[in-house]
Amino acid sequence: TDVIIESSVGYFTEGPERKDDIVKAKQEGKELTKEEKQRLRKEKKQQKKSKEKKDDKPSRDSEKEKKPASAASPAPQTPTQPPAQKAPSAAPAPVPVPASETPSAADKPAKSKAELKAERRARQEAERASKGKKGDVGPQAAPGKPKAPPSELQPVVKRLPEHVQVDNPEVLKKLAKKLERQQIPLRSDYGYKVSLFSHLHQYSRKAPLTQQLGIPSTVIHPAIVRLGLQYSQGIVAGSNARSVALLHAFKQVIRDYTTPPNEELSRDLVNRLKPYISFLNQCRPLSASMGNAIKYIKKEISNIPSQCKEEEAKRKLLNCIDCYINEKIVLAAKAIAKYSIEKISDGDVILVYGCSSLVNHILCEAFEKNRKFRVIVVDSRPRLEGREALRRLVQKGINCTYVLISAVSYILPEVSKVFLGAHALLANGYVMSRVGTSQIALVAKAFNVPVLVCCETYKFCERVQTDSFVSNELDDPDDLIVTRTGTTQLEHWQEVPSLGLLNLVYDVTPPDFVDLVITDLGMIPCTSVPVVLRVKNVDQ
């Protein structure tokens, strides 16, 4: 444990008396370790005991008190805080706890009835959360790898991501502390946010995160800094492009990585990647495909056996990443193109929206296979991504028409099929895609035109969502400003207090608008997404 403290100077500034916590925190970084599970079990037993005896506070020892104390200390402030946040895995939890440990131990008998009630409630919820987490790994915790047995119950309570809780000051404080520890600057929100979206971040493109980083930055690898900047400025956009760029950057990180002495590559590398992921998240919230890719990499890294030499381990990892890209993106695109070409017949008029790399690929392949069709590209402000798609298709020689999304009901009577790309497919069958996709699907349905969504399986996501409000991304509101005939109407929108600009990035399309989803596993209806997810989980 001494050695661990030496090498963790960059992460922690507290003294060696916290080494217990530090060890736990470091190990907490991994997915549920042995100690973690033991502690959870202890905590659960403890909570059961303390529920019977209300004033049994001082009898607990310091270790067990940690978890309930951390549950209790925020509880009197906000008893309605989501329970999963207090669940272990976030490193900040142990940090404020030791400070509040001793005072809370002394105060406990003197607390009022209301506070006791709140504590009890918080403990119950934490217990429920721990029960959920434990259900994830099975009642008998298998040591080391958290390979989920094919249990029927999926975890019910997941940790709510920070980026949809911007209106909760607790969460923001925790995030600030975490970023400070990781030495990553915190990006501040910009402009007046529409009240319906006060729970989301809204950043300005003119203030990239890199302005607040020192040069040279020793904490974050330069490839990651560059990637973060490319994300936040919109240079790399589109879910496939972002995932591939992320994986390439991680390959560079792995190449440049050297294991510190007395450290295991499997553990240290994962911890090294954490601040990078926080940084990228600050630059632009991670997409579902990126999330899945990161999960895969972390799993691969933690699966490296400890006796493996560093060179060999690195080679293995690089190989894994290449395989992932090849399998999930390149070959998947080929498979999807093969299925889709069966659906394109001669004389078709195909409508596409925005720029989806997959849909463009399909159309180019179909054109090469000598199908006769023409394409209508629909575009929308302010991103105007359709122009990029238009360029690529015209370069191939495909006959194209171009309209804006407000003209879609004019042009739809001519259309025979609609091909849409997706950013993620949610577990309840909803399609999360660029804002405007649901509108096109709606109008296509009204005109009885079939809508086909093309999506690789690595974009399938276990989340569920029914509307476009609870989880979305707000882009820079200044993008909506436009100068027409010499006047810029919204130039001074910040000065008008009752005026807000809303620049959404994603929206969700209900499954009844979508007729078919073409994936690399075949052509499935929208409602079969959870089946695919389940099959994937069992395979892994």
Partner 1 sequence: MPGPDKETDLTERIEAFLFDLNRGGSGAGPLRGSAETARETTALLRRITAQARWSSAGDLMEIIRNEGRRMTAAQPSETTVGNMIRRVLKIIREEYARSRGSSEEADQQESLHKLLTSGGVSDENFRQPFAALKPNVIEAINELLTELEGTTDNIAMQALEHIHSNEVIMTIGRSRTVEAFLKDAARKRKFHVIVAECAPFCQGHEMATSLSKAGIETTVITDAAIFAVMSRVNKVIIGTQTVLANGGLRAVNGTHTLALAAKHHSTPLIVCAPMFKLSPQFPNEEDTFHKFVSPHEVLPFTEGEILSKVNVHCPVFDYVPPELITLFISNIGGHAPSYIYRLMSELYHPEDHEL
Binding site for partner 1 (CB under 8 A): 194, 196, 380-382, 387, 390-391, 394, 400-411, 434-436, 438-439, 442-443, 446, 467-469, 480, 482, 484, 489-490, 493, 496, 498-504, 507-508
- Between the CA of residue 33 and those of 62, 142, 219, 274, what are the distances in Å? 20, 9, 26, 17
Q: Which is nearer to partner 1, 230 or 239 (CB)?
A: 239
Structure tokens at 273: 């990647």
Nearer to partner 1, 185 or 510 (CB): 510
- Choose among 16, 108, 23, 17: nearest CA to 60: 108
Where would I find the beta strands (DSSP E) of 124-169?
Answer: none
**Toward partner 1, which CB reaches closer, 231 or 506?**
506
The minimum distance between CB 115 and partner 1, in angstroms, equals: 36
Closer to partner 1 by Cβ: residue 208 or 510:
510
Of the candidates 384, 455, 399, the one whose C-alpha atom is nearest the C-alpha of residue 426 is 455
User: Which CB sits closer to partner 1, 460 or 513?
Assistant: 513
Secondary structure in 3-state letters for 427-449: CCCCEEEECCHHHHHHHHHHCCC
In angstroms, how far is the first alpha carbon of the chain from the final one?
33
Alpha-carbon distance of 166 to 193, in angstroms, equals 11
- CA 424, CA 433: separation in Å to the nearest integer? 7
Q: Specify the residue, 75 or 376, whose C-beta has the smaller distance to partner 1.
A: 376
Closest alpha carbon to 409 in 449, 372, 381, 374? 449
Closer by beta carbon to partner 1, 70 or else 438: 438
Closest CA to 384 of 436, 459, 452: 436
CB of 471 to partner 1, least distance (A): 12
For residue 396, the minimal CB distance to partner 1 (Å) is 11
H or E element that contains 377: strand 373-379
In angstroms, give the least distance from the CB of 434 to partner 1. Answer: 8
**Smallest distance from the beta carbon of 195 to partner 1, in angstroms?**
8
Distance CA 407, CA 175 (A): 43
Q: Least distance to partner 1 from the beta carbon of 233, Å?
A: 20
Kindly state the smallest distance separating residue 49's Cβ from partner 1, in Å. 47
